[in-house]
Amino acid sequence: MPSGYIPIFIFLAIAILFPIAALLVAKLIRPSVPLPTKSEPYECGIKPLSDSRGRYTVRFYIIAILFVIFDVETIFLYPWAVRYRALGWFGVAEVSVFLAILVVGYIWAYKKGALEWV
């Protein structure tokens, strides 16, 4: 067996044994009889007023999608930042157009009221 695989097998053994050891240690040190408050849906002390299977409003999903879309912009800005000097003014113009489109999107979302939490 080539000696180059030995570190891989050691890493694999550690990767398998570490979660098993962590779970066993956690099982040994945790309390075995939970308190009655641990059985309640919320530990804050306030009794739930309605069913937990309530519906979410569409506004929640719109805000979530907007977060994902505007968060992805950083992924597209990263390659530009890495190659900033090689791209020169052409890269600055491209990023300016990209950011202008994003600003238009922010303004549109703001005017639609999608960014309000009320």
Residue-level pLDDT at 62 = 76
Position 61 confidence tier, pLDDT thresholds 50, 70, 90:
confident
pLDDT digits (tens, 9 = 90+) for 2-57: 788 899 999 999 999 999 999 999 999 987 777 776 667 666 666 767 766 777 67
Select the CATH number that applies to the domain covering 3-112 from these four: 1.20.58.1610, 3.30.360.10, 1.10.3210.10, 2.70.180.20. Answer: 1.20.58.1610
Q: Which residues contact 83 (CB under 8 A, 6 or more apart)?
A: 91
pLDDT value, residue 14: 96
pLDDT at 118: 62
Q: What average pLDDT does the segment 97-114 reach?
A: 85
Residues with Cβ within 8 Å of 98's Cβ and at least 6 positions away in sequence, in order, are 73, 76, 77
Structural domain boundaries in the chain:
3-112
